[in-house]
Amino acid sequence: MSVDPAAWRELQTLFELIDRTPEREQRQVLDSACADAALRERVLRMVQGANHDHDSSAADMPPSDGVSHGQPLRLGPYQVLHVLGSGGIGTVYLAERLLGGTPHRVAIKVLAPHAAGQHFIERFHREQHILAMLDHPNITRLLDAGLSDGGQPYLVMDFVEGVHLDEYCDRESLSVEARLRLVLKVCEAIAHAHRNLVVHLDLKPSNILVTADGSVKLLDFGTSKLVQPDDSVTTTILATPAYASPEQLRNDPVTTACDIYSLGAILFYLLVGEVEGGRRSAALAIERAFRELQPQPLAAAGVTDAAARNRGTSVSRLQRVLNGDIDTLVAKCLRPQPEDRYASVDALIQDLTRYLEGRPILARRQTLFYLGAKFLRRHRLSAAITSLLLVALIATGLLAGWREQQALVEGRRALTMQSFIYRLFKFANSNTVGKPTFTVTEFLELSLRLLPDYIKDPVDLRRAQLGIAESMYENDAYPQARKAFDTVARTARVAHDVAAEAEADAFAGHIDYANGDPKSGAALTARALELSRASGVPASVRVWSEIYYAYDRDDNGFRSDENLRLLEDAVTEARRGHLSERETADALYNWAQDVELRGDNKTAAAAFNEVLAVYKDDPAALCEQSDIYGELAWVAEMQGDHAGDLRLIQKSYDGYRRCAGPDSRGALTEQVFLAGALVKAGRADEALALMNDALPKWRKLNGTSPDFAQPLNFMVIAELATGHATEAEAHAREMVEVQTGKINPKDRRIGGSHLLWAKALIQQGRYAEALPHARIADDLLANTAFSAGAKELTAEAHQVLLDAEAHVREPR
Amino acid sequence: MAVLADAEITQLLREWQAGEPAALDHLFEAVYPRLREIAGALFRNERFENVLQPTSVVNELFLKLVRNHSLRFEDREHFYSLSARIMRRVLMDHARDRKRQKRDGGVRVPLDENLAWINSSDAKLLDLDDALVKLDEVDPVKCRIVELRFFLGFTATETAELLCKSKATIDRELRFVRGWLYDQLHDSAG
């Protein structure tokens, strides 16, 4: 059948028109709107059809209730009275057995064969001793099992008269507290069953009855032991999606943690009057299970007027309760991963009891660290960075509380920090941002944005902002870090917060150096140094100000003995100020690097080893350990130990890849040095491969900074060693370009670039063009040469110049 | 029916996501046998009113297509449209088998209550299937809405979100389709 699109549209238009029209005017409207009599009839039929409600059509339905559809009269020794209900795995009947003349009422669940599986009766007898141990006042007993004459498996249980848990709570308008006390009773029954190694696996309000005297009775306990579905049927269909744990919905192995999840879902429903995550189709429940979504906060479920009234309170008061510890408690039950939930029902009982007694619950802190740990697992961040951030933030909160010497304030502050971090991770969740992954930098930027909502004290706020900015710096996000330091410096200056301003300026200056702006770098680090000498500035700020001022100056061609003295001061200051072992080691490290720059490799190596000993004790210092291996490699190289150099640099590179990832600045730095060592070891092809990988990454990271000359340098060396002279020439030219105008024109590094340029040209036989570059190289490199390596370079530059001159004078 | 290797499934998914229609048929083949098996187990004993829940289908698809292939679950629309289409096919094939075996009884299919006025005997179900084939030719989007809503059990809100339409639009479309199906089925029955 082919339908004309225009006719289809017309049909739809007419339908919608008539559907909106009151019934008695429909014919009249239709007559004027449509000339086609057949079409008019059709539209009327359709409108009637759309209105056809299912009540009137019930007669059309096949018989669907068990009574008229083969209700058994007898099941074994039991006389069946009537249907009580039916569910996913079978139909429940009320039945009775004559015992010594007194009719004894029981409930019998006739199971669908697919649910019972094979060997059902044998299993019942095998499990009977376990089921007998389930004897508990709040658990309905499983009395018997059998097969009907027709071969249908059935289970016989105590018959309980009562109403479903949720119905009871609403009917009695129970308060939140009263509801929790009822759930506590349920938990105790479940804990008893778990102790006897029986899990329920289908806990839901309709499986929990409250009797006339107000006691709870759990139905269906033990069924899970007996019900082993056919192999081909997933267990998914046995559970109720709204209350089933994600692992059940995913068809993964089930444990007692499933029941804890269901208890959480029941708590959620009883507290809010809404199912966690909202009512959704079974399909979407499964999607949720596969995506491992974190539970929705209680208060976000939307408290209605009716729900509040049902709990004997107002909407705002109920909201407040739901925003408190109970939210954490419920969320702890509803974690998508079983191992993140309460370890046992007993642990849940403990927290419920604490909550009811007004004491702090135990779940909160674990939740916080869980979130952090989870985020790390998910996003494979540098553990050190994020844990530092977490600790810094928590410490800020706790310290401030201590300062005010009020336990109450401390508690509130800690809570604030926790909800901050909670919100942060929530936002960073990939499902919220709609991106597959969230980078550390984005995460830190988000922290910066959210922070002012949580920390009201401006001094604390700046301290936290500095912590985040430093994490950004650690994470190679220089532009973002620079901006954050600038903000802190500005607000600190206005508030005369000298310590914060000094710290921010020191880092900002250090970043400016790295970005190829030594002028601004020098000015900012100098200001930081000056500010840090004011009284009241913590020793650590002074130490870092000294380090950045002095080391960056020395490293950028403003070398002076004052710098070395400052770095020495920093070490002394760190020791005297009782800074942590770690910070003291950091100061020593910087001093040793400066000593190394000056060519005293032996002293430097001793210090490096001392620092390494400290870093080795610190699991978060894997990157720093790798730095030291890199330094020791350099020392080995300077002592002519090429094999040692290669081994150590490889170690450094591997370490960095592990601690910060293969694309981190640290790993890329070591990768470049590794390429250099490989060239020396005669493995130039491997070196070239490493550089081909590293160079584009460096270009992206800081392709316009003079620091980019360093990877270019090793690229050229690898290219020269493998005979790629034209590529080498282009890269050497680029080296000079990124350095020109950004560093001191007399800097040795510019000489090194020209030296390579000359060599690339010579390799192509273009001696005349090489000559001017060789001259510049010889000129600049003949300057102060501290280290053995530098002296080697001086000699090489001179040799290249002589070479070029000889060829130009005597052209072939 | 040949069993597809994991790599092939992954490839088919890519093609399907890229809008290659033939890939859909092959994907059917990859997941369908196991679903038929599940349906068979559920319907084995006709005295029980077993209901093949869409959960079985969705679960199987998640396992087969998403988890086992570490695919990012990005194209929800395609995923659920495929699930709904498969669900429809499983039910209809089952009805067809039973009709062939002349055991036309009262298997209940989990059509949403909004469609409950359709007498869901196997014969009627097959009429419904024919009507949907027609609908798919004229207006595939409406057919998709029916499949999602009635076969996969999506709520109207979920259907609207998935197809990026307003709930009011979905409600309006569904009303029209209900009317249209009613007309078709009563017409063909008469």
**What is the ipTM score, two decimals?**
0.80
pLDDT at B35: 66
Query: Which of A2, A237, A248, A279 is the best substitution to test chain B (most B C-beta atoms within 10 A)?
Result: A237
Question: Which pLDDT tens digit goes with each residue over A683-723?
Answer: 999 999 999 999 999 998 877 888 899 899 999 999 999 99
- Please say whether the beta carbons of B189 and A60 come within 8 A: no
Residue A127 neighbours by CB distance under 10 Å: 16
Residues of chain A found within 8 Å of residue B33, distances taken between Cβ atoms = none
CA distances from B53 to A66, A88, A232, A551, B120 (A): 19, 10, 14, 69, 16
Q: Is the pLDDT of residue A771 over 70?
A: yes
B181 neighbourhood in chain A, CB within 8 Å: 49
Between A788 and A611, name the one with better pLDDT. A611
Which of A2, A230, A285 lies nearest to residue B41, judging by beta carbons? A230
What is residue A463's predicted lDDT score, i.e. its pLDDT?
A: 78
Sheet of A90-99, strand order:
A74-75, A78-87, A90-99, A102-111, A153-158, A142-147
Q: Is the pLDDT of residue A18 over 80?
A: yes
Sheet holding A216-218, edge to edge: A163-164, A208-210, A216-218
What is the residue-wise DSSP string for B131-161? HHHHHHHH-HHHHHHHIIIIIS---HHHHHH
Q: What is the pLDDT of residue A203?
A: 92
Give the whole-angstrom CA distance, residue A93 versus residue A683: 82
Among A175-184, A237-246, A395-404, B77-86, the range scoring the smallest mean pLDDT is: A395-404
Give residue-wise pLDDT tens across range A107-123: 888 876 655 555 667 77
pLDDT digits (tens, 9 = 90+) for B137-159: 999 999 999 888 887 778 888 89
Tell me which of B32, B49, B127, B152 to substitute to probe the interface with A (most A C-beta atoms closer than 10 Å): B49
pLDDT band at A566 (very low <50, low <70, confident <90, very high): confident
Q: Is A745 helix (H, G, I), strand (E, B) or coil?
A: coil
Structure tokens at A763: 């390799």
In angstroms, the CA A318 to CA A305 distance is: 10
d(CA B87, CA A282): 13
CB contacts of A42 in chain B (<8 Å) are 183
User: Does residue A25 carry a pLDDT above 60?
Assistant: yes
Q: Within 10 A of A283 (CB to CB), how many other CB atoms are there?
A: 27
Q: Shortest CB distance from A281 goes to which of B121, B155, B181?
A: B155
Rounded Cα distance between A660 and A235, Å, is 42
CA distance A124 to A222: 10
Q: Give the closest of B37, B121, B138 to A8, CB-based.
A: B138
Catalytic residue among A144, A166, A170, A202: A202
Mean of the per-residue pLDDT values of chain A: 80
| Number of CB atoms found within 10 A of residue A207's CB | 23
The phi and psi torsions of A235 (rounded to 5 degrees) equal -70, -15
A719 vs A90 pLDDT, higher one: A719
One-letter amino acid of A193: A
pLDDT at A115: 57
pLDDT at A600: 82
Asked if A48's CB is within 8 angstroms of B182's CB, the reply is yes
Using a CB-CB cut-off of 8 Å, the residues of chain A touching B120 are 61-62
Determine whether A617 is an active site residue: no
Mean pLDDT of A583-592: 85
Surface of B (111-150) touching A: CB under 8 A: 113-114, 116-117, 119-121, 134, 137-139
- Under 8 Å CB pairs connecting chains A and B tally to 159
pLDDT tens-digit map of A312-347: 999 888 988 888 789 889 999 999 888 889 989 999
Q: Residue B64's pLDDT band (boundaries 50, 70, 90)? A: low
**Tokens, residue B132:** 């949907």
How far apart, in whole angstroms, are the C-alpha atoms of residue A496 and residue A462? 12
Confidence (pLDDT) at B189: 45
pLDDT at A348 exceeding the cut of 50? yes
pLDDT: which is higher, A283 or A751: A751
B68 — pLDDT class (breaks 50, 70, 90): low
In order, the DSSP letters of A707-734 are: GGHHHHHHHHHHHHHTT-HHHHHHHHHH
Q: What is the pTM of this model?
A: 0.54
C-beta atoms of A60 and B117 within 8 A:
yes
Pick the residue with more confidence: A269 or A128?
A269
Give residue A132's pLDDT band: very low, low, confident or very high (50, 70, 90). confident
Percent of chain A past pLDDT 90, that is, above it, reads 27
Say whether A282 and B153 touch across the interface (CB within 8 A): yes
